[in-house]
Amino acid sequence: MLVSLIPIVDKLCDVPRVGWVFDFVTGRGRICHEVESTGISKQILVFPVEEILQTTMRYILFFSYVGTRYSGLQIQKGAQMKNVQTIQGVLESLLHRLFFPNKVVMKTCSRTDTGVHALMNTASFDPQPYEHNNRTYEPNQIKTGIITKSLNSQLAKANHQIRIWKTCRVTDDFIARKKVASRSYVYRICLKHGNQLVAGPSPFELQRVLVIMQPFDFDKFLETAELLSGTHDFANFMMQKGLKQAINTVLTVSINIKRGSSVIEEYQNLSKNQLEFWEIHFSSKGFLWRQAFPLGLDISPGSSLI
């Protein structure tokens, strides 16, 4: 499974501001930023340099990861979870060790469970000023590019499957979780033609695609997806029972009936005619806790398993 997030532009006060920022161009005491986002026309946002650089403490990270080795994104609470490795735990530990003497607590934009990969996720954190040799150091003095480069260097050295795409500073009242336009999950399936002796996908696809045998009834699958679209009580799709019921709106269920492909497929001539790759997209403003994985079971009607 792969998850990606779509940023939006918002008004955070009486002047237009960017919800989260990408590239600032500094000139003549002001900062200009060109923004283009889904549903919002292109515009130039301008604000004083001193307002951003002197008052903003909050940072936001854009990052991706292969979730196979990790126990989900968020840090797990409880004594028995102290040695459990999570994406958040790895990043907080590195930020604390490399840059910020005080403890760093990240607030993630979207939670993913064990084994879920992310094409793009975000997390914000508010580093606190610290004392050293009778001097007070402000954390906003650290350049964002240095944070990105240093984190990636240490992640690579430790063989972590996590990469930072961008580090930015945002306004202190910005909350990434509340500013997401939508969240999307992508499920990849591989259809095997022929009998059970047909080779499966290459080892480069391990943990990244679900293999099923033919026949696969796409019409039946589309019918099931249509039933799931809209406003429904998805409590039965949560893996943990007994939680408070919640209503979740699946804003868009997009079934891409287009051929996908395997990794470097052009060099896999022996299998490319026996394997058929497809992508299935689920999009919503939000998902219930541990809801996304059961959505993958919806392929069962298409493969005549129920």
CATH number for the domain spanning 208: value is 3.30.70.660
Do 121 and 34 fall within a single domain?
Answer: yes
* DSSP β-ladder status, 117-125 and 2-6: parallel
In a shared domain, residues 79 and 150: yes
Cα separation, 272 vs 262, in Å, equals: 8
Using a pLDDT cut of 70, give the percent of the chain over it.
57
Same domain, 116 and 239: no
pLDDT value at position 186? 81
Q: What is the pLDDT of residue 250?
A: 54
Tokens of 212: 């099923």
Q: Quick one: pLDDT at residue 96?
A: 92
145, 178, 211: which is the final residue of a domain?
178
Task: Answer with the one of 162, 178, 194 that is the final residue of a domain.
Answer: 178
Q: Are residues 192 and 152 in the same domain?
A: no
Considering the domain architecture, whether residues 91 and 138 belong to the same structural domain is answered as yes
H or E element at residue 57: none
Q: Per-residue pLDDT tens for 43-62?
A: 344 444 444 445 567 899 99
Last residue of a domain, one of 158, 178, 198: 178
Q: Dihedral of CA 219/213/205/299: which sign?
A: positive
Q: Do residues 211 and 152 share a domain?
A: no
By residue range, what is the domain housing residue 132?
Answer: 2-178
Residue 191 and residue 119 share a domain: no
Say which range, 34-43, 148-157, 259-268, has the weakest mean pLDDT.
34-43
Task: Tell if the pTM clears 0.85, that is, is over it.
Answer: no
Angle between helices 87-98 and 144-157 (to 10 degrees): 120
Check if the beta carbon of residue 64 is closer than 8 Å to that of residue 166.
no
pLDDT of residue 44: 40
Residue 162's pLDDT band (cuts 50, 70, 90): very high
Tens digit of each residue's pLDDT (9 = 90 or more) over 243-252: 545 455 455 5
Q: In the predicted model, is pLDDT for residue 205 greater than 70?
A: yes
The total domain count for the chain is 2
More confident residue, 198 or 118: 118
pLDDT at 193 over 50: yes
Measured from the Cβ of residue 13, the count of other Cβ atoms closer than 10 Å reads 9
